[in-house]
Chains A and B, each alone.
Chain A
Amino acid sequence: MTSIETHLPTDVSASTPAIATWLTTADHKKVGRLFIGTSFVGLVAGLVLAILVTFERINADSYQILSDNSVPQVLAAVRLLLTFGTVVPLLLGLSIAVVPLQLGARSNAFPRLAAAGFWTWLTGLGLALASIIGNGGPSGGNSDLVDLYLAGSIVLGLGVLMAATSIAVSVLTTRAPGMGILRAPLFTWSSLVGSLALILTMPVLIGTTVYVYIDHRYARAGFGGNTGVNKWIGWALSQPFSYLLAIPALGIVLDVVPTIGRTRLAQRSAAFGAVGVVAVAALATVTQTSITLPWDGAKFLDNAGTKIADLLPFLLLNVVPVLGLLGVLGLSLLTLKSGKPVISAPLTFVLIGLLGILLGAAAHIVGLVQDAGLSGSIYEAGVYVPITFGAITIAFGGICYWGPKLWGRSISDKAAIPLALLALLAIGLDSIPYYVAGFADQPTGLVNGFSYSGPQDLWNALTCAGFVVMLLASLAFLGLALKSFTSGAVAGNDPWDGTSLEWATSSPPPAENFAGVIVVNSATPLADIKSASSNGKVA
């Protein structure tokens, strides 16, 4: 019997220089890795600047590294780098690389849109950072470069929007036959929810930035000029927007836990609900950032009716996301209890990261109680940093988990687990001292010229040490990942004995991901295939 080769060769990279292949690629696995790789540059740069800022705060009046005028710009650069230079590309990159594999698809939807999204995001981020370096950015002294910062922010937002659109449409349209949305892996679900959240919020940011840009460039009449930039678009660099950005990280937790626990996820539909609840409540919170709680301490019962009217929207908008996060944590612990988990790097990273997000989210509630008097204090940084570090730590866990699939080689657990513990230390050092300093009324946005009773230098030294620890952990993780993925142990196709479709193809996957079409009959399609194979049936 003779068969005929009818399909065209898909590997054209042999005749194309490697760099040109990467620059022009629309392969979702490469685009995802471009996002992930570039995010490490943003992470290191952001942490170095954060160390500079926190070091300046120690013994605040004795020396000055940063001029007073440059402080708002450096603080904006830190937030920009950690948020849109690290968390967003890390999680978008993982989604773009992994989700089509989990869906059993040959490619993502609109692959060129995702690739264009990467380059647009990178261009926007570069423009915004270049403007800050040249005395632009929020409160910048160079008017043209402030305009450049705003233009860069618009371009950056468009890039994120393009990538998010590709992910959302992939999940909605390219699932394998039989894979209803409730049969999709939790990371796919959280990527869909997170992408839709970005699709609904980034345009609002872009629209506001267009207003600020036109006003700053021509009129300077309504938006406060260069000092008004942070007031109008700074919400995208702080809590509760960081909740929305961290949503895909919850899916990583809910995928890693059952696989490493060698069991099925407890209450799977509840897990879908928990991620959805976090997203919906966080989306509502983003639109209502001013909802705070006037408590009045012991006088609560004097005015109980009014107080309850204040309490309800506060609970709905700020407490519900925390309940969703607690749900994710509870389901993870239940799953681990029913399984046979082994201590591994992905599991350690994701659990530590989840604790970080939970800590920041719980602290956010306290920060909104008016009686606590924390508005405008450094406490706000203690909300932002653990959520951001938590999301980054979970993404590190995702890289340990899916890295073998994307690169074909494994990261050593023995080397990676200590780095997860370093991340835990960094989360602790960059949250608890901030809370103490916040209650002592250390102002946010200042690095010099403040004083309060108590060991203020100690708190600021501890936060500085936290950023140093996170920088060391990140650099070590980057080095470990580079070494492991180039010369580490060969992983095999299914190193974790997984149950979802990404483990059904080779590591790394071929250009079109799967040799054939996989029909899905349950939420654990690969487990079904393995079971059918072991029973001698054709899968």
Chain B
Amino acid sequence: MLALPPASQPAPRRQLFVGTAVAGAAGFMLIGGMMATWLKFRADAPVRESLKRGFIKDWMPAKIVVPEVAANVMLLGLLVVCVMAQWAVYSAKRNDRTHTGLALGVTALMSLAIINAQIFIWTQMGVGAKDGAFHSMFYAATGTMTVLLLSGLVYTAVAAFRYLGGRTKEVELVSAHALYWYFLTAAFCAVWFVIYVQK
């Protein structure tokens, strides 16, 4: 006589959501640590005289022009991504497959546009990482942020494939995905203020 199988284990408590929150905390520390180092270098820089603003920190070389419009577009784009990701959660909770798919699709498209804007900034600035401390740190910080944005795009793709592939009960995945984009937006807010506004 064969034994009955063991009772099934209760489902873990929102494992993916908690895991995403932990990953978000780690990512925020990554960007936070990098911004702190950036600010330390900026604070330690000598002072020089600017024609427009008097004495300023000699941190960003005067000849560099940062395309601020593109950086602002990135920030606004991320805010839109958050709305789209939350729309996906709203639709998924109502078992509305069409709108969930649409929301995830727009999220992916917007994140691609944001990454494109970052590449535009790099090409427009026309400086290399080897040109100085500011340059290497600029590429390191914005490059790390771009890697995180790419990971968000991958997360969106995975969420879309799983949800549209038939796992429509996995609302937690869509919620966790939205949480990840909230974290990315918060992280980019720090990058935007420190690197593109404060410089």
**Which residues of A pack against B, CB within 8 Å?**
1-7, 105-106, 109-110, 161, 165, 168-169, 172-174, 177, 199-208, 210-211, 213-215, 217-219, 221-223, 512, 514-517
Contacts and interface: CB of A to CB of B under 8 A. Distances in A.
Nearest to B31: A207
Contacts of A165: 19, 22-23, 26
A218 B29 contact: no
B133 A517 contact: no
A388 B19 CA distance: 30
Contact of A211 (B6, B9, B22, B34): B34
Contacts of B137: 211, 214-215, 222
Nearest to B33: A204
For B26, B34, B41, B128, the residue with the greatest tally of chain A CB atoms inside 10 Å of its CB is: B26
Interface in B11-41: 12-15, 18-19, 22-23, 25-27, 29-34, 37, 41
B139 interface: yes
B9 A106 contact: yes
A288 to B, nearest CB: 12
B37 A214 contact: no
A149 B14 CA distance: 38
Contact of B10 (A3, A161, A213, A517): A517
B129 A219 contact: yes
B136 A214 contact: yes
Contacts of B32: 204
Given A1-B1, A214-B143, A222-B41, 19 more contacts: A5-B3, A7-B5, A161-B26, A169-B19, A173-B13, A174-B12, A174-B13, A200-B26, A200-B29, A203-B26, A210-B143, A215-B133, A215-B136, A215-B137, A221-B132, A221-B136, A222-B132, A515-B6, A516-B6
A168 B21 CA distance: 11
B51 interface: no
What band does the interface of chain B fall in when counting residues whose beta carbon is under 8 Å from A?
A: 35 or more
A109 B7 CA distance: 19
A210 B9 contact: no
B112 to A, nearest CB: 24
A3 B15 CA distance: 33
B76 interface: no
A219 B133 contact: yes
Nearest to A514: B6
Interface in B38-55: 41
Given A5-B2, A174-B12, A211 B19 contact: no
B19 A110 contact: yes
B29 A204 contact: yes
A109 B2 CA distance: 31
Contact of B26 (A5, A199, A515): A199
Contacts of A204: 29-30, 32-33
B168 interface: no
Contacts of A210: 34, 140, 143-144
Interface SS majority for chain B: helix
A207 B1 contact: no
B2 A4 contact: yes
A204 B10 CA distance: 36
20 contacts: A3-B3, A3-B4, A4-B2, A5-B5, A7-B5, A106-B9, A109-B12, A165-B23, A172-B13, A174-B15, A201-B29, A204-B30, A206-B30, A207-B29, A208-B33, A213-B140, A215-B133, A218-B128, A516-B7, A517-B8
Given A215-B133, A218-B128, A202 B26 contact: yes
B19 A207 contact: no
Contacts of B37: 207-208, 211
For B31, B33, B135, the residue with the greatest tally of chain A CB atoms inside 10 Å of its CB is: B33
A109 B139 CA distance: 35
A517 B12 CA distance: 13
For A106, A202, A203, A512, the residue with the greatest tally of chain B CB atoms inside 10 Å of its CB is: A203
A270 to B, nearest CB: 27
- The 3 nearest A-B residue pairs measured at CB: A222-B133, A204-B33, A203-B30
A225 to B, nearest CB: 12
A527 B18 CA distance: 31
Contacts of B5: 5-7
A169 B18 CA distance: 7
Contacts of B4: 3
A218 B22 contact: no
A6 B10 CA distance: 18
Interface string B136-149: 11011101100000
A228 B5 CA distance: 60
A222 B129 CA distance: 12
Interface string B115-143: 00000000000001111110111011101
B18 A172 contact: yes
Nearest to A198: B26
Given A173-B14, A219-B131, A200 B2 contact: no
Contact of B18 (A7, A173, A219, A515): A173
Nearest to A214: B140
B34 to A, nearest CB: 4
Nearest to B20: A169
A96 B131 CA distance: 45
A207 B22 contact: no
Given A203-B33, A206-B30, A211-B37, A219 B135 contact: yes
A108 B16 CA distance: 13
B190 to A, nearest CB: 12
